[in-house]
Chain A
Amino acid sequence: MNAKNSESRFNSFLKFHQPKHPFSVKNKVKFNHPSWENIQSGLFQFTQIVELNLTNSLQSMLLPSGAKLEDLIFFDTETTGLSGGAGTFVFLLGFAFWSEGNLHVKQLFVSDYPSEPEFINYLSDILLPDKIYVSYNGKCYDCHVLTNRFLLNGKNISFPVQIDLLHHCRRLWKRILGSCSLTDIERHVLNITRTDDIPGYQIPEVYHHYLRTGYIDDLIKVFDHNYQDILSLVLLFENISQILAEPLIKSYHPGKVDQLKLGQYLIDCNDLQGMDILDCAFRQGDFQAGKLLSLQFKKSGQWDQALKIWNKMYANKSLFAAVELAKYYEHLFRNYTHALEIVNSVLNWKIPLTDDFRSEIIHRKRRLLRKVNKNINFPANDE
């Protein structure tokens, strides 16, 4: 097809599709702000040193063994779209690191698309593979977008060690808060309430608007938003480190931290304080905690402790406790009659049972009946 034909086809298309409000096309935007240093063509940097007391972070359980606070890079990106993919650019990267007892916060701003190669070049000296990367949802988002940007500029990047605080927050607060957005966590955990904050979903459009018009007032709000994100990351790291270091102090405020998940986490880390926390939760009526705790006791052979929990739960018609008790009386104590009584009472509880569970319990009952008849010749206590 020749050019002329295509042009006339396009003109006939335009007849019906004239843009209603064409954007005045300004191809060059000039970014200028006194607090931002122009470090390379189109690339701007903002730096701030913050005095912070991070006692708990220094010895944080979140740190991989052998790692120091100085190895951490806290980071967060702002992007031109929210769905990822090759057309989503990173236009702002905020990051913070700990050096000589102070927190250094930096932000890098790409003032237009063509400056991306300089941005990526600059970053490749900072985002080194031996660092530990702390983020909020970075595992699923920021790292992917950054990796894409590096690859598209012919460079490699990897984030071998990552601490994604979103995962920790979900563990500790998801059951309490429902949502684990950074703003919710800030409000609940850090007592920070943002004012005049720009919601995350609006950020891409702010950047596009700035590119079209050069308007920077909203852009400044995005910088502030990102800056606050970075600070919150650091504070959250400190806060979670403190909870893990002194779990008993924090966890005495029910509702503030999910004690079950905290206890579970500590037990996974071989920290025995987890048992105390579960015990505390169980006393407040959390049977899930009781279940976990009793299984810990069972594992270590502390049958008395386990039995105490099971009996209390059994009195409240816990199927789990009933099965554990039946197992205990059948296999360890060899009191088949008592085991059978428990099994029968479960069947009389009139609570809905899943098919699998019912057939399991009936199977157990049959076996117990056989054992009772064989061993003691005791008349079977049938329903």
Chain B
Amino acid sequence: MNLNELIKQLESDKKFLANVTHWEKIPPRKAQLVDFPSDLDEQLINSLHHRGINQLYSHQLKTYQCARMGKSVVQVTPTASGKTWGYNLPVLQTLLEDTQAKALYLFPTKALAQDQQSELNEIVQGGNLPLKIYTYDGDTPGSIRVSVREQGRIIITNPDMLHTGILPNHPKWIKVFSSLRFIVIDEIHTYRGIFGSHMTNLIRRLSRITQFYQSQPVFICCSATIGNPQQLAERLIEREIELIDDNGASRGERHFILYNPPLVDPVQGIRRSVVKQAQRIALKFLTRGIKTIIFARSRLRTEVIASYIKKSMENIHTTGHDKKIASYRGGYLPNQRRAIEKGLRESSIVGVVSTNALELGIDIGGLDVSVMAGYPGSIASTWQQAGRAGRSTDISVSILIASSSPLDQYMINHPEYFFGKSPESGWIDPDNIYILLDHLKCAAFEIPVSTEEPFYRDHYHQMLNYLEEIGLLRYTGEKWFWADQSYPAEKISLRTATPENVVIVNTTQGKNEIIGEMDRPSAKMMLYQGAVYLHQSEQYIVRMLDTANLKCLVEESNSNYYTDSIVKTDIKVLQIDSIELKSGIELFIGDVLVRNEVTKYKKIKFYTHENIGYGDINLPSEEMDTRAIALVFNPHTTGGKIFDQLKPLHREIIIRRIGNLIENVAPLFLLCDRQDMGLSERLKDPHFDHPAVYIYDTYPGGTGIAEGFAQQVEKILQGCLDLVNQCPCEYSCPSCLGPMEELADLDIDEKTNPKTIISEFMQSWFSSIQQIQP
């Protein structure tokens, strides 16, 4: 049975349809094909023919023409639209015409860089092009680094390497920088929030250096689905940029199905487990040999779903029984990951269960079905994961299976919200003082900063003066020189994630074999002593985790349960720097310790998911010092007093919901990403003894989120009130106060409507302030 027939069958399957809340048919689209541009090099045409390409999609030609005219572009097209040709064509053409010309490619991860390297290798080898292409990252062996700098025509790297390795050593890269014609930045939607603000400053530094060597590169950016690609790209590269978003690639008919698992316990609102539903639905396709990807929300779930599917495939006589099922996530060894990607491209693997690791543009060929086990968390991610299914002409299916969580339930029951809302936008704040100061240090190290820098305008003077006062810069001869013995880029990380990885060693029967790796904070949550570690559906039991030496010893095992840890996050105030009475409440700014602790784990039986016991975990907690602001409703303040006079139920609803509201509003004012800030709401805070809402920075040491919040607190709170009043939903939705909680909110009526309660509270709070401050 092929996919077409299967869809027909599902459409008349009453049992299946009973759980479908929405079935959207997206009609097929015809390809807009155009001829190769007339100036295209013969060798390049050969290479294209070699790969079976005889015409271009219209958007590819448009990107080509813009880039060749020297206009910077951002290309926004979905997966499988041949976006890499969009930038590879103009780059390769220019490199063939001008034997000195160079290009720099930036990818957010090493894996994507390697993917691009192998694709370019095929193009170059296929067409016998005389171009050398190198990847330059932390894994590049010292012996070939000189060749990369001396001979590389395309250098593929990542922002972190550009930041710590390339820019601070730019004289070594003189050959590249002095004839740099193109800078390609792929996956720009990942450069949001603090990471994006770092990225803009990195581009500023890069531009200073290309200016120093008198080259004027053209930027070609690519983005996945995002609300504001052009705006984001312009903020990132601080140049005018042409948006190319009319996709010329063809696409077959697509079915988008929202599926809500049946209730098992209508009283408690518990639904059938998303894990087993995903298994059952995926099997419908896999047993018929239809290529399917299943996205799970965590690494653990990925492994559990994969092992269920593998087990079922063993028992069923299937047409695809010779085909393999794989799991895919971060933490596998690179060659294992490459093997899975290859297996998918060559169709020796028919099904893959993955975390969002496969959401990004890694080339895994065309798939027919995408099953999302749980709402991926954002509309942009959902489209990205759904888009993994669908080739140029064939029919495809994307199924979103909801979990019992409020957000999932909201999405699944409000398809008009999901299909009507444009994807999230990316905000960045390149002039964030913390980030700017860090990059000013690096910039001064690279080339002394003068008063005539295009990027460092008048008001940067005082920042430079500040750096001089703390002894890092020296102002002399009308320039600021780096005046410290350190290497500034080394101490500045562009990302929150720690680079430390725990190595997982299989020690079964005296073996000593590395099977994978995991970042330290996650290791504490997944590799504690006694944990069952699943790797490619193989079971291991953890014998020892040594977080100091970043080593974990495991042994093969065969238990009937898996384990899941219980993580506790708590915040401790370390030091208060300022207390301010603003907006009628108290604002505290200071240092806090955010502690993530795992103390216990559950043993969960496979298949039944019964809880069959607990174990203790003895590991040092994962700690981060950062900056926070606390909004404290002290009854002695006007705002606090109004809060204090409310009914207890209303107080509870407000505290429970206000965090969500702030999370939805603050990023717009702070120009950060949601993930850059953490929230914690307490009805009675142990430190302040009053109701409090904490907003803290998720970058260690802080990046100004707390201070920025304090500065704009009136605007942000007003924004919160406006959002509640303007949001078209009835009681609450993910865009304002958060999703409705199925049960807790069942008996909501006009009297307990959270929107009314919060709106009324905020209005009386704000008007009380205006009375005091005429």
Contacts and interface: CB of A to CB of B under 8 A. Distances in A.
A130 interface: no
Interface string B587-615: 00100000000000000000000000000
Contacts of A16: 577-578, 589, 707
Most A CB contacts (10 A, CB to CB) among B168, B470, B483 go to: B483
A87 B445 contact: yes
A233 B459 CA distance: 50
Interface string A180-223: 00000000000000000000000011001001100000000000
Nearest to B174: A151
Given A23-B471, A113-B481, A81 B171 contact: no
B746 to A, nearest CB: 45
Given A10-B459, A25-B475, A113-B476, A86 B170 contact: yes
Given A10-B462, A113-B476, A152-B171, A85 B577 contact: no
B636 interface: no
A27 B484 CA distance: 15
Contacts of B169: 84-86, 148
A217 B457 CA distance: 39
A85 B444 CA distance: 12
Contacts of B264: none
A9 B711 contact: yes
A7 interface: yes
A114 B450 CA distance: 12
Interface string B159-172: 00000000011111
Interface in A13-53: 13-16, 19, 22-23, 25, 27-28
Nearest to A42: B477
Contacts of A80: 482-483, 485
Nearest to A85: B168
A270 interface: no
Interface string A76-100: 0000111111110100000000000
A284 interface: no
B434 A13 contact: yes
B640 to A, nearest CB: 24
A89 B484 CA distance: 11
A361 to B, nearest CB: 24
Interface in B414-448: 431, 433-434, 444-448
B704 interface: yes
A112 interface: yes
Contacts of A15: 577-578
B476 A25 contact: no
B628 to A, nearest CB: 12
Given A25-B469, A86-B168, A81 B486 contact: yes
Contacts of B487: 81, 83, 85, 87
A3 interface: yes
Nearest to B485: A204
A163 to B, nearest CB: 21
A73 B426 CA distance: 58
B469 A86 contact: no
Contacts of A151: 171, 174
Main secondary structure, interface of A, reads helix
Given A3-B459, A10-B433, A151-B174, A81 B485 contact: yes
Contacts of B475: 25, 27
A348 B170 CA distance: 61
Contacts of B469: 19, 22-23, 25
A151 B446 CA distance: 13
Contacts of B474: 27, 113, 211-212
Contacts of B481: 89, 113
B707 A13 contact: yes
Contacts of B482: 80, 87
Given A81-B484, A211-B483, A12 B471 contact: no
A82 B485 contact: yes
B485 A6 contact: no
A226 B730 CA distance: 78
B477 A3 contact: no
A87 B164 CA distance: 13
A208 B483 contact: yes
Interface string A123-166: 00000000000000000000010011001100000000000000
Contacts of B479: 113-114
Contact of B433 (A9, A86, A147): A9
B455 interface: no
A6 B459 contact: yes
Contacts of A208: 471, 483-485
Contacts of B578: 15-16
Interface string B278-312: 00000000000000000000000000000000000
B34 interface: no
Contacts of A10: 433, 459, 462-463, 466
Nearest to A202: B485
Contact of B711 (A12, A27, A81): A12
B222 interface: no
B472 to A, nearest CB: 10
B431 A87 contact: no
Nearest to A15: B578
Nearest to B488: A87
B168 A7 contact: no
A149 to B, nearest CB: 8
Contacts of A13: 433-434, 704, 707
B458 interface: yes
A1 interface: yes
A13 B395 CA distance: 55
Contacts of A82: 485
B556 interface: no
Interface in B695-721: 704, 707-708, 710-711
B468 interface: yes
B476 A3 contact: no
Given A9-B711, A12-B711, A15-B578, A86 B171 contact: yes
Given A87-B482, A113-B481, A23 B445 contact: no
B448 A113 contact: yes
Interface string B484-515: 11111010000000000000000000000000
A96 to B, nearest CB: 27
A8 B756 CA distance: 36
Nearest to B475: A27
A85 B433 CA distance: 25
B574 to A, nearest CB: 13
Nearest to A8: B711
Nearest to A148: B171
Nearest to A144: B172
A25 B467 CA distance: 11
A211 B485 CA distance: 13
Contacts of A148: 169, 171-172
A145 B471 CA distance: 23
A263 to B, nearest CB: 29
A81 B169 CA distance: 13
Nearest to B590: A16
16 contacts: A7-B462, A10-B459, A10-B462, A12-B711, A13-B707, A22-B469, A23-B471, A27-B474, A81-B484, A81-B486, A83-B487, A86-B168, A86-B169, A87-B168, A152-B447, A211-B483
Interface of A: 1, 3, 6-10, 12-16, 19, 22-23, 25, 27-28, 80-87, 89, 112-114, 144, 147-148, 151-152, 204-205, 208, 211-212
- Going nearest first, the 9 A-B pairs with the smallest beta carbon separation are A87-B445, A114-B477, A204-B485, A87-B482, A83-B487, A151-B171, A3-B459, A148-B171, A85-B168
Interface of B: 168-172, 174, 431, 433-434, 444-448, 457-459, 462-463, 466, 468-471, 474-477, 479, 481-488, 490, 577-578, 589, 704, 707-708, 710-711
Given A23-B468, A152-B447, 13 more contacts: A1-B431, A3-B457, A7-B459, A7-B462, A9-B431, A9-B711, A10-B466, A12-B707, A13-B434, A22-B469, A23-B471, A113-B481, A205-B485
